[in-house]
Amino acid sequence: MGRCREDPPKVRLFFALMTGDPRLFDDVETRLESEFGPIALRGEDYDFDPFTDYYAAEFGRGLRKRFMSPRDPIEPERLTAIKRRTNEIETALARAARPGEEEPPRPINIDPGYLNLAKVVLATTKDHAHRLYVGQGIFEEVTLAFKRRERGFEPMEWTYADYRTPETLAFFNRLRRAYAETLKDPSS
């Protein structure tokens, strides 16, 4: 029989930001830093439009995306509360941009997730066959798995197209190396 582990290792939080107004990246990064600590790693902004038109009705075209990760590891069970908090930030920014509207469109999408040595996990409010309900209206999915033989993260059958690109995989492999260093030296 396996033993329940009351204190699993901390994980590395990250955020995927997507917007049609790249000026919002810096403002949202400042907000996220105030709540989750200094950003230690950022990916390069990239054009999101070629991957899907799923968000076009809400955000329009010309979408840009950026990954970023705070320095400090977190407990994995915090991801649910963090997803709910990023939804609140999205709502606050929408209402500030379009005061008076009952449900204004979001100017930015903020998706949190975490990484450990074995996987990249995303939080979402949308159910699907490969997602597990974790409470408070939030589901989680493993979207990338670390393959030792290949020495890097690889996508799953359901992984979003932009998470499959060499640039995104390189970001998560860099983040994994940084995370592994914190496991060796918890004071860093």
**DSSP state letters, 2-14:** PPPPSSPPPBEEE
**Do the domain assignments include residue 16?**
yes
Looking at this protein, which amino acid is placed at residue 136? Q
**Do the domain assignments include residue 1?**
no
CA 103 to chain CA centroid, nearest Å: 24
pLDDT digits (tens, 9 = 90+) for 146-187: 997 677 999 999 999 999 999 999 999 999 999 999 888 766
User: Where does residue 46 fall: left (phi above 0), alpha (psi -120 to 50 degrees), or beta otherwise?
Assistant: beta
Closest CA to 171 of 44, 40, 33, 11: 44
pTM of the model: 0.93
Q: What is the mean pLDDT of residues 126-143?
A: 96
Q: What is the mean pLDDT of residues 86-95?
A: 96
Q: How far is CA 4 from CA 11, 78, 181, in A?
A: 18, 18, 26
**Do the domain assignments include residue 113?**
yes
Q: What is the pLDDT of residue 8?
A: 85
Q: What is the mean pLDDT of residues 112-124?
A: 97
**Do the domain assignments include residue 3?**
no
Structure tokens belonging to residue 4: 């329940």
10 Å CB burial of residue 175 (0-12, 13-18, 19+) is buried
The count of domains in the chain is 1
Is residue 40 scored above 90 in pLDDT? yes
- Band of the pLDDT at 188, cuts 50, 70, 90? low
End-to-end CA distance of the chain: 35
Task: Give the span between the Cα atoms of 120 and 181, in whole angstroms.
Answer: 17
Task: Give the span between the Cα atoms of 64 and 19, in whole angstroms.
Answer: 6
- Band of the pLDDT at 2, cuts 50, 70, 90? confident
**Do the domain assignments include residue 131?**
yes
Domain of 115, in residue numbers = 12-184
**Do the domain assignments include residue 77?**
yes
Q: What is the pLDDT of residue 7?
A: 82
Q: What is the mean pLDDT of the chain?
A: 93
**Do the domain assignments include residue 4?**
no
